[in-house]
């Protein structure tokens, strides 16, 4: 008999040790995912600040962190990998970018939860890499795959989408010299855009109409239809050319048409727009996209004085960009080094924490070997359950009586009610509506008064008079608690989620529920489930 008891205790200890190990592993995975989410957000912040080395560092960390269990957040995992691959491609590491893209795309087939828009973006980036490697046929296949993915997403969601894939493919084919292919994809883009325009944002619709018309004019010019191109360009309203990308497209057409003075005007607009909005640092990319085209336009237009002025600006900008690039690289490398040092210190602290946890688990296991604790726990739980059952019965009886009082008030003719009673009856009808307005955490006396079309002091007086002296917050919390109790009894949602759904903050819900019902939400759920 004693051996049987010892064997039972040993089995229980082994099961508990296994459970603790699994729990520790689960906790570690959750911690890794939380860290990955934080790294992903840091990457976005540095990306917006044009600190690309640091952004790449954090995107890489986030991608590797999410790799532990991508199913926790496919969207962030895919976007972190896509952004990391973009930055690697941007600094010439095409092989590295392709390795990330390939890994992500290999996981798409087995996971329907992988966002289709990110899959399409990855395929478009893969096409860019293949063009860089002069694999034009492979790039065309990647473009087609990206388009097919976008089409699938459209059919599944049954909503129109912005046809950015078709436009990007058209641009890529034109850059490759395939004007006919570019025109075909532009026509497809126009067909898709017609669907989007029916429900899209008006400003975006106008903007895209401008982009499509500018591309059509450029392609007509490239195929020798100069008169038609000029007619298309002339028909574009000025209101549709509303941002630097459109300015650049207009200038590109005008340069192709030999209208250099007009092209110079639009290049001037690009530069002045950047200066007016953010005064962007003059990097080598900005020199290439903003100053060099202006210089060429001025030269071809015969405006040599202006061209010389731009040439001087380019020379000064190159010197400035070199200094800025050097300082920026040094600053970013310093941040990365400091971050690495902090990570090493954090890893040491985590290792020490794991050791402490192991010792703590061992101590708990020793304590759990004392059998009488199990018996005492069972007795305590039984007594607590009986007490909670009585409390639930009392709560249900009290709420039933309160509901009867309200129903009686509703049945009384309005002319027999005082002003406070009439207002209170309207308030109860509002609270009993299917909208469950009391679940709004911001609902207060002022908001109730607005909904009832009265003064907030009258609301307070009506509740105090007709609800036994209750305050407005106490009155609202009664409805919220009833709703929370209903959700606890009828759903398996987490208690924190139920708190928010009922109009409480998580921190206040447990306190108010325990003070009112005499038990915790989990204890209440246990009673009503039996």
DSSP labels for 336-404? HHHHHHHHHHHHHHHHHHHHHHHHHHHHHHHHHT-THHHHHHHHHHHHHHHHHHHHHHHHHHHHHHHHH
Lowest mean pLDDT among 295-304, 376-385, 391-400, 424-433: 376-385
- Average pLDDT of the residues of the chain: 79
CB atoms closer than 10 angstroms to residue 270: 21
**Which has the higher per-residue pLDDT, 356 or 120?**
120
Rounded-to-integer distance, Cα 242 and Cα 434, Å: 45
Lowest mean pLDDT among 50-64, 182-196, 330-344, 502-516: 330-344
Predicted local distance difference test score (pLDDT) of residue 138: 92
**Which has the higher per-residue pLDDT, 490 or 53?**
490
* Residue 347's pLDDT band (cuts 50, 70, 90): low
- Which uninterrupted H or E stretch holds 96? helix 94-108
* Residue 266's pLDDT band (cuts 50, 70, 90): confident
Predicted local distance difference test score (pLDDT) of residue 364: 85
Whether residue 281 contacts residue 324, with contact meaning beta carbons closer than 8 Å, is answered with: yes
Q: Is the dihedral of CA 474, 478, 483, 485 positive or negative?
A: positive
Arithmetic mean of pLDDT, 56-64: 89
Whether residue 509 contacts residue 502, with contact meaning beta carbons closer than 8 Å, is answered with: yes
Predicted local distance difference test score (pLDDT) of residue 141: 93
**Which has the higher per-residue pLDDT, 289 or 293?**
293
- Which uninterrupted H or E stretch holds 225? none
Residues present in the chain in total: 530
Predicted local distance difference test score (pLDDT) of residue 54: 83
Q: Which of 43, 12, 63, 2 is nearest to 335 (CA)?
A: 43
Q: Tokens 């009808």 label which residue?
A: 429
Contacts of 222 (CB under 8 A, 6+ apart): 174, 179, 256
Backbone angles phi, psi at 280, to 5 degrees: -60, 145
Predicted local distance difference test score (pLDDT) of residue 333: 57
Predicted local distance difference test score (pLDDT) of residue 92: 81
Arithmetic mean of pLDDT, 17-42: 69
Confidence check: pLDDT of 375 > 70: no
Rounded-to-integer distance, Cα 447 and Cα 462, Å: 15
């Amino acid at each position: 008999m004693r051996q049987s008891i010892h064997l039972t205790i040993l089995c229980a200890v082994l099961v508990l040790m296994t459970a603790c190990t699994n729990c520790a592993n689960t906790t570690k995975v959750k911690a890794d995912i939380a860290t990955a989410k934080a790294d992903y957000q840091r990457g976005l912040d540095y990306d917006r600040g044009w600190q690309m080395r640091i952004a790449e560092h954090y995107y890489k960390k986030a991608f590797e962190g999410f790799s532990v269990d991508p199913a926790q957040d496919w969207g962030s995992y895919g976007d972190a990998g896509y952004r990391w691959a973009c930055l690697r491609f941007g600094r010439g590491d095409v092989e590295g970018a392709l390795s990330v893209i390939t890994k992500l795309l290999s996981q798409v087939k087995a996971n329907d939860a992988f966002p289709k828009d990110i899959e399409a973006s990855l395929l478009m980036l893969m096409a860019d890499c293949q063009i860089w490697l002069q694999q034009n046929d492979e790039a065309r296949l990647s473009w087609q795959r990206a388009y097919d993915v976008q089409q699938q997403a459209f059919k599944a969601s049954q909503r129109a989408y912005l046809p950015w894939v078709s436009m990007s493919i058209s641009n890529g084919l034109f850059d490759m010299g395939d004007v006919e292919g570019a025109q075909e994809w532009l026509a497809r883009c126009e067909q898709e855009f017609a669907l989007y325009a029916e429900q899209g944002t008006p400003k975006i619709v106008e903007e895209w109409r401008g982009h499509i018309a500018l591309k059509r004019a450029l392609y007509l010019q490239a195929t020798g239809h100069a008169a038609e191109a000029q007619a298309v360009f002339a028909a574009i309203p000025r209101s549709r050319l509303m941002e630097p990308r459109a300015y650049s497209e207009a200038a590109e057409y005008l340069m192709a048409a030999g209208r250099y003075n007009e092209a110079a005007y639009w290049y001037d607009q690009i530069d002045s727009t950047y200066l007016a909005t953010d005064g962007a640092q003059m990097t080598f990319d900005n020199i290439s996209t903003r100053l060099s085209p202006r210089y060429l336009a001025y030269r071809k237009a015969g405006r040599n004085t202006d061209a010389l002025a731009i040439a001087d600006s380019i020379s000064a900008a190159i010197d400035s960009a070199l200094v800025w690039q050097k300082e920026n690289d040094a600053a970013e490398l310093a941040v990365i080094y400091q971050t690495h040092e902090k990570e090493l210190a954090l890893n040491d602290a985590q290792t020490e924490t794991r050791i402490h946890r192991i010792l703590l688990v061992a101590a708990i296991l020793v304590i759990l070997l004392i059998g009488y604790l199990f018996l005492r726990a069972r007795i305590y739980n039984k007594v607590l359950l009986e007490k909670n059952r009585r409390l639930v019965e009392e709560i249900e009886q009290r709420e039933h009586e309160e509901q009867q009082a309200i129903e009686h008030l509703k049945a009384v003719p309005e002319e027999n009610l005082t002003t406070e009673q009439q207002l209170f009856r309207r308030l109860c009808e509002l609270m009993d509506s299917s909208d469950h307005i009391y679940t709004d955490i911001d609902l207060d006396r002022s908001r109730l008064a607005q909904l009832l079309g009265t003064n907030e002091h009258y609301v307070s007086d009506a509740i105090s008079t007709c609800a036994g002296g209750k305050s407005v917050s106490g009155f609202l919390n009664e409805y919220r608690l009833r709703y929370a109790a209903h959700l606890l009894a009828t759903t398996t949602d987490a208690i924190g989620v139920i708190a928010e759904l009922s109009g409480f903050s998580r921190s206040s819900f447990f306190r108010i529920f325990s003070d009112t019902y005499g038990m915790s939400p989990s204890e209440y759920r246990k009673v009503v489930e039996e």
